[in-house]
Amino acid sequence: MEAKEIEVGVVTDFFRKVGVAAIKVYPGRRLKLGDRIIIRGPHTQIEQTVDSLEINHQPVTEAGGGAEVGLLVHIEATEEWPPNVPRKGNKVYKLEE
């Protein structure tokens, strides 16, 4: 069975030095540790498991709609251009079986 993609938020910023994306979670949606997500945009395609979430620099296990969260993003260093990193406006999808 193929996983269903549910749009849960949008990237509002990316802090390259620490590898953290700021994500605004949509009202009525949730993001929690262990969720499989995809960050997607014109030059971005990152699939990973959520293993670190923060709100106001404090670790949390989940975030509800309207929250602005920091998400640690696992990025492989490559020479590709443009780089495969989160960008403002990229959509965040949760994968559900």
pLDDT of residue 39: 97
Quick count: other Cβ atoms within 10 Å of Cβ 73?
21
- Each residue's pLDDT tens digit, 27-73: 999 999 999 999 999 999 999 999 999 999 999 999 998 999 999 99
Q: How far apart are CA 54 and CA 45, in angstroms?
A: 22
CA dihedral 62, 68, 72, 77 (to 10 degrees): 150
User: 77 pLDDT band (50/70/90 cuts)?
Assistant: low
How confident is the prediction for the chain on average, in pLDDT?
93
37 is in which domain, residue-wise?
4-96
CATH of the domain at 22: 2.40.30.10
Q: How many domains does the chain have?
A: 1
Cβ–Cβ < 8 Å for 31, 9: yes
Closest CA relative to residue 23, chosen from 2, 77, 60: 60
